[in-house]
């Protein structure tokens, strides 16, 4: 075959290759071809709603902690805060020799026992005793009785005053009243000085008793001394100090103590932080997981697209005989490209 026939066959084969379908992606899932596409910064993608909800959870948890995470108990030893711990009298020792809670059942006043029967959590007594620093016969006691109401405290005060004013009981104890007085600093106070005669079993002593009421508390003080020892002035000094203490402490005082358990508080705080953190960071974690999942799908789609494209290229690759002929610079006349074609006639000149 002439050179013109070979050139025509080569042109036809080249035209067949150019007419092959392209490998552009058809309608289907979108494929991200540009891996360097700019994305919105992570902080800007986070919506404000999780932060608002997390803040609301923390506020509600704080309110719930104040309202519910607590325990109450009755602290009867706290009555010691209603009794002075120092008298300020030089003839008495600075520290008390005895301090104890006085149960209502052991009280000398019937009104205290009745009040404890109806409201035991707001009834109780506490006493302290000091001994003399020089004379062995000197001593001072300070007792307070806490009642649920001021009206009940008034009944106890009247009962205590009657005890130191009852002539029959004083006579039975060989005691006589030598003076009556009041303490100007304590409104409605009652004071009495007594003397006890010497007997076969006791020596002659003097005493001073002061009773006053401050709100729900009744204070009963008694000084005992040998002749020439503690005086009414010393008793008045102690009463003024006790009255000043009750003025400060009695209005807000209660035997009920509210505490917040440490273990429960720690658990409550950790749970609150966990819930708030979950609300704050979970949307971001889910969003990043979705992005990674979408990227994996896109990468798989690109891989499959490249794999399909490679197979299509291999299917449309020129046959081996054409590649050998192209590399050799000519196409054999008897090749398959000429099968079924009429030879091109050459023009003779």
289 and 173, same structural domain? no
Q: What is the pLDDT of residues 1-16, one digit of tens each?
A: 444 454 555 555 555 5
Q: Which domain holds residue 192?
A: 75-256
Q: Report which DSSP code applies to 246.
A: H
Nearest to 219 by CA among 187, 264, 193, 195: 187
Domain membership of residue 161 (yes or no) is yes
Domain membership of residue 33 (yes or no) is no
Q: What is the pLDDT of residue 24?
A: 44
Domain membership of residue 179 (yes or no) is yes
Domain membership of residue 68 (yes or no) is no
Task: Evaluate whether 109 touches 164 at the Cβ level (below 8 Å).
Answer: no
Report residue 43's pLDDT band, with 50, 70 and 90 as the boundaries: very low
Other beta carbons within 10 angstroms of residue 194's beta carbon come to: 19
Number of domains in the chain: 2
Burial of 36 (0-12, 13-18, 19+ CB in 10 A): exposed
14 and 124, same structural domain? no
CATH code of residue 80:
3.40.1000.70
Cα–Cα distances (Å) from 132 to 108, 163, 194, 228, in that order, read 25, 25, 19, 13
In 211-319, which residue ranges form alpha helices assigned H by DSSP?
232-249, 262-315
Residues 6+ apart with CB under 8 A from 83: 99, 126, 127, 128, 142, 144, 242, 245
Residues 6+ apart with CB under 8 A from 319: 336
333 and 233, same structural domain? no
Q: What is the pLDDT of residue 187?
A: 87
Single out the residue in 215, 236, 256 at which a domain terminates.
Answer: 256
157 and 285, same structural domain? no
10 and 108, same structural domain? no
Q: What is the pLDDT of residues 110-119, one digit of tens each?
A: 999 999 999 9
185 and 95, same structural domain? yes
175-181, strands of its sheet edge to edge: 98-102, 124-131, 139-146, 217-225, 205-214, 190-196, 175-181
Q: What is the pLDDT of residue 119?
A: 92
Whether pLDDT at 335 is above 60? no
166 and 51, same structural domain? no
125 and 181, same structural domain? yes
Q: What is the pLDDT of residues 162-178, one digit of tens each?
A: 988 888 888 888 888 99
304 and 189, same structural domain? no
181 and 159, same structural domain? yes
pTM over 0.75, yes/no: no
Domain membership of residue 26 (yes or no) is no
191 and 326, same structural domain? no
Whether pLDDT at 161 is above 90? yes
Cα–Cα distances (Å) from 173 to 55, 135, 167, 180, 201, in that order, read 73, 23, 10, 18, 12
């Amino acid at each position: 075959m002439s050179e013109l026939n070979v050139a025509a066959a080569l042109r036809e084969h080249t035209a067949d290759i150019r007419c092959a379908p392209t490998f552009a992606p058809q309608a289907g899932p979108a494929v991200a071809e540009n891996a360097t596409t700019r994305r919105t910064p992570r902080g800007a993608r986070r919506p404000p709603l999780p932060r608002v909800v997390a803040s609301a959870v923390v506020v509600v948890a704080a309110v719930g902690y104040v309202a519910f995470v607590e325990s109450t108990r009755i602290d009867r030893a706290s009555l010691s805060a209603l009794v002075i711990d120092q008298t300020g009298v030089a003839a008495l020792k600075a520290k008390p020799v005895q301090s104890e809670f006085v149960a209502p059942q052991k009280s000398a006043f019937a009104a205290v026992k009745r009040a404890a029967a109806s409201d035991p959590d707001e009834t109780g007594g506490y006493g302290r005793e000091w001994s003399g620093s020089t004379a062995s016969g000197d001593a001072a006691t300070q007792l307070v009785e806490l009642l649920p109401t001021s009206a009940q405290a008034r009944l106890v005060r009247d009962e205590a005053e009657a005890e130191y004013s009852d002539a029959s009981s004083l006579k039975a104890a060989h005691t006589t009243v030598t003076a009556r007085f009041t303490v100007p600093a304590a409104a409605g106070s009652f004071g009495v000085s007594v003397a006890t005669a010497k007997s076969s079993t006791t020596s002659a002593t003097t005493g001073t008793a002061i009773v006053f009421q401050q709100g729900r508390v009744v204070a009963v003080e008694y000084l005992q001394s040998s002749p020439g020892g503690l005086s009414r002035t010393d008793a008045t000094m102690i009463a003024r100090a006790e009255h000043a203490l009750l003025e400060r402490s009695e209005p807000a005082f209660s035997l009920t103590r509210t505490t917040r358990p440490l273990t429960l508080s720690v658990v409550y705080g950790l749970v609150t932080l966990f819930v708030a953190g979950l609300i704050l960071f979970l949307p971001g974690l889910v969003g990043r997981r979705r992005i990674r999942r979408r990227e994996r799908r896109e990468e798989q789609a690109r891989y499959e697209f490249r794999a399909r494209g490679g197979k299509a290229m291999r299917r449309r690759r020129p046959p081996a005989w054409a590649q050998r002929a192209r590399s050799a610079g000519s196409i054999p006349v008897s090749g398959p490209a000429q099968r079924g074609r009429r030879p091109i006639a050459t023009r003779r000149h």
